[in-house]
Amino acid sequence: MPALVTGASGHIGSNLVKQLLDQGEKVRALIRKSSNTACLPDHKNLEIVYGDVYDRPSLVAAVTGMPFVYHTAAVYSLSRKNPGQILETAMQGTRNILEAVKVAGGVKRVVYTSSVAAVGMTDDPTRPLDESNWTADSDPDEYTRAKLESEKLAHSLAREFGIDLVAVNPALVLGALDLKPTPSNKVVLDFLQGKVPAYLETGFSAVSVEDVAAGHILAMQKGRSGERYILSGENVKLVDFFEILGKISGKKPPGIKLPRPLAIGMAAMFEFAAGITKSEPLATVQAMKSITNRYGFYSFARAGKELGYKPRSLDQTLRSTVEWFEKNPLT
pLDDT given for residue 80 in this prediction? 52
**Is 147 designated active site?**
yes
Distances from the Cα of 52 to the Cαs of 24, 73, 112, 180, in angstroms?
A: 27, 9, 17, 19
Domain span at residue 76? 3-174+207-233+297-311
pLDDT given for residue 240 in this prediction? 97
Residue 166 lies in a domain: yes
pTM: 0.93
The predicted-structure confidence for 174-226, as pLDDT tens digits, reads as follows: 999 998 899 899 999 999 999 998 899 999 999 999 999 999 999 999 999 99
Residue whose C-alpha is closest to residue 238's, from 210, 261, 258: 258
Can you tell me the mean pLDDT for 47-75? 94
Inform me whether the pLDDT recorded for 23 exceeds 80. yes
Query: What is the Cα–Cα distance from 18 to 209, expressed in whole angstroms?
Result: 12
Residue 192 lies in a domain: no
pLDDT given for residue 285 in this prediction? 79
Give 204 or 78, the one with higher predicted confidence. 204
Name the catalytic one among 147, 152, 180, 237.
147
pLDDT band at residue 35 under the 50/70/90 scheme:
very high
Residue 319 lies in a domain: no
Inform me whether the pLDDT recorded for 77 exceeds 80. no
pLDDT given for residue 248 in this prediction? 97
Inform me whether the pLDDT recorded for 19 exceeds 90. yes
CATH of the domain at 117: 3.40.50.720
The predicted-structure confidence for 285-317, as pLDDT tens digits, reads as follows: 777 777 888 999 999 999 999 999 999 999 999
Residue 111 lies in a domain: yes
pLDDT given for residue 141 in this prediction? 83
Residue 34 lies in a domain: yes
Inform me whether the pLDDT recorded for 251 exceeds 60. yes
Residue 199 lies in a domain: no
Total domains in the fold of the chain: 1
Can you tell me the mean pLDDT for 40-66? 96
Residue whose C-alpha is closest to residue 281's, from 79, 76, 77, 75: 79
Residue 328 lies in a domain: no
Inform me whether the pLDDT recorded for 26 exceeds 70. yes
Residue whose C-alpha is closest to residue 120's, from 184, 171, 186: 171
The predicted-structure confidence for 126-173, as pLDDT tens digits, reads as follows: 999 999 999 987 778 888 999 999 999 999 999 999 999 999 999 999
Residue whose C-alpha is closest to residue 231's, from 248, 253, 216: 216
Query: What is the Cα–Cα distance from 294 to 263, expressed in whole angstroms?
Result: 13
Residue 161 lies in a domain: yes
SS3 sequence of 282-323: CCCHHHHHHHCCCEECECCHHHHHHHCCCCCCHHHHHHHHHH
The average confidence (pLDDT) of the chain is 92
Can you tell me the mean pLDDT for 320-330? 92
Dihedral angle, C-alpha 15, 20, 21, 27, nearest 10 °: -100
